[in-house]
């Protein structure tokens, strides 16, 4: 990552984003996922939890492959899913925090940052960030939505996973997968939401999760495991094509 700059329509007036190069960035076999996008992710991706040793907290990921550094959703530079995870869609943009000097009381507000050295950035081809006379392009409006998904998702995540952990809903997950030609893969080190423990929640616990807006997320994570079969199908197609 290069030096981040506060996005503005003067310094960055002529910059464009080559969205075709979005997928050139290495993702490994998973990307961070946020509660605010779970409803979109769960239709196409397995949503798993992992424990971050540095923060000592759980975080969610969207699983993209069955092996290290494998992305089965990417074929011939085309993304094979309707929804693109926010972690990838944001491209060269990120969220920064800046003091609002004009406010009567000191306030910190989110701002849009850009990495001008990002591989997608140029001034010759791609999608303009700003219109010719300085207004936001439709693409920048989309990026603002993506960054808002991330910002609100970060705010929701800590309380969500703490609540799941407190109710004993989080359990280790091991996936043992057999592919064509008897190739096998074992995926461990991740966690999921236990369907059985969800079903055993008492009325007060269900009310608490539902009242705080966290119940749906638990079911979305649990149900998203059905998408592991999608990864298996993608993998088998690649094996057959060899």
Domains of the chain: which residue ranges? 5-241
Q: What is the mean pLDDT of the segment spanning 166-175?
A: 96
Helix 215-223 vs helix 203-211: angle between axes, to the nearest 10 degrees?
A: 100
Per residue in 19-73, pLDDT tens?
989 988 778 899 999 999 999 999 999 999 999 999 899 999 999 999 988 999 9
Q: How confident is the model at residue 77 (pLDDT cuts 50, 70, 90)?
A: confident
User: Whose CA is closest to 85, among 41, 119, 128?
Assistant: 41
% of the chain exceeding 70 in pLDDT: 96
DSSP H helical segments within 167-214, as ranges?
A: 195-199, 203-211
- pLDDT confidence of residue 103: 59
- Greater confidence, 107 or 227? 227
**Residue 147 has what DSSP assignment?**
H
E-strand ranges in the chain read: 5-6, 16-17, 30-33, 47-52, 57-63, 74-75, 78-79, 93-100, 107-114, 121-122, 127-128, 170-178, 184-193
Chain centre to alpha carbon of residue 171 = 21
- Give CA separation, 51 vs 41, 61, 62, 234, in Å: 20, 11, 14, 27
Report the mean per-residue pLDDT for the chain: 93
Q: How confident is the model at residue 132 (pLDDT cuts 50, 70, 90)?
A: confident
- Give CA separation, 9 vs 15, 120, 146, in Å: 9, 18, 19
pLDDT at residue 183 greater than cutoff 90: no
Write down the number of H helices and E strands in the chain. Answer: 7, 13
| Tokens coding 70 | 């494998």
pLDDT at residue 172 greater than cutoff 80: yes
Q: What is the mean pLDDT of the segment spanning 78-100?
A: 93
- Give CA separation, 114 vs 4, 40, 110, in Å: 5, 26, 13
């Amino acid at each position: 990552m290069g030096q981040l700059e506060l996005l503005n329509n003067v310094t960055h007036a002529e910059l464009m984003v080559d969205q075709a190069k979005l997928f050139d960035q290495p993702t490994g076999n998973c990307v961070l996922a946020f509660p605010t996008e779970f409803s979109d992710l769960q239709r196409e991706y397995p949503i798993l939890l992992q424990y971050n040793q540095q923060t000592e907290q759980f975080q969610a990921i969207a699983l993209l492959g069955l092996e290290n550094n494998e992305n089965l959703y990417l074929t011939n530079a085309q993304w094979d899913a309707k929804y693109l995870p926010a972690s990838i869609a944001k491209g060269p943009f990120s969220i920064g925090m800046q003091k609002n000097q004009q406010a009567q009381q000191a306030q910190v507000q989110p701002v849009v940052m850009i990495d001008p050295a990002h591989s997608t950035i140029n001034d010759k081809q791609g999608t303009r960030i700003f219109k010719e006379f300085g207004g936001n392009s439709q693409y920048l409006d989309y990026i603002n939505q993506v960054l808002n998904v991330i910002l609100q998702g970060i705010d929701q995540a800590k309380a969500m996973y703490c609540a799941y952990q407190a109710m004993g809903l989080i359990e280790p997950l091991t996936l043992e997968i057999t592919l064509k030609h008897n190739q096998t893969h074992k995926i461990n080190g991740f966690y999921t939401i236990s369907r059985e423990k969800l079903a055993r929640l008492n009325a007060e616990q269900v009310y608490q999760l539902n009242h705080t807006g966290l119940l749906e997320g638990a079911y979305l994570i649990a149900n998203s495991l059905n998408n592991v079969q999608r990864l298996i199908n993608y993998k088998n197609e690649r094996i057959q094509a060899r």
